[in-house]
Structure 1
Amino acid sequence: MLDLSDLYQFVTYADCGTLSAAADKLHISQPTLTRTMHDVEDAFGIPLTDPEVNVTYHLISSAKSTILQSVSPTFEFRYQK
């Protein structure tokens, strides 16, 4: 089960575009963020990467929209920059 921290990590990853940049911004290790992204994929049934075509950014951007529409409006409000 995901919590708001997991969703925040996902949104940060989507905004940064790479796991490395997101992990740095979040002050967590890249393996920790990778595990969270696998949890997000499992929870929502949305792949975040496609290793065959390497279109990570497009997929996470699409997933971000889908996921933010699925979570509470409170999270969207809190996330706004």
Structure 2
Amino acid sequence: MSNPFTGLSLGPPLGDQRLDLCDLYAFQAHGDASRTVLILNANPNADAPHPGAVYRLNIDNDIDNDGDNLTGIAFS
């Protein structure tokens, strides 16, 4: 489920719609089971990403299968 407004105030973070992330999709790449596709989108009411913001995805790829729940890969 997508919700373009988050937090207790039911408004965008810091009152700026460009900072509000709505959806994260993750799925197996078509034709290559060893790859994953990630799609992140922002508030549909925002006209562009915030130029001063850092959007970061932390991923626990757990390649050593130790269940540590720590970031193995990060995308910013």
- The TM-score range, normalised by the shorter chain, is under 0.3
Task: Indicate the structure with greater strand content.
Answer: 2
> Using CA pairs below 8 Å that are at least 6 residues apart, which structure has the higher relative contact order?
1
Task: Indicate the structure with greater helix content.
Answer: 1
Normalising to structure 2: TM-score of the pair?
A: 0.23
Normalising to structure 1: TM-score of the pair?
A: 0.22
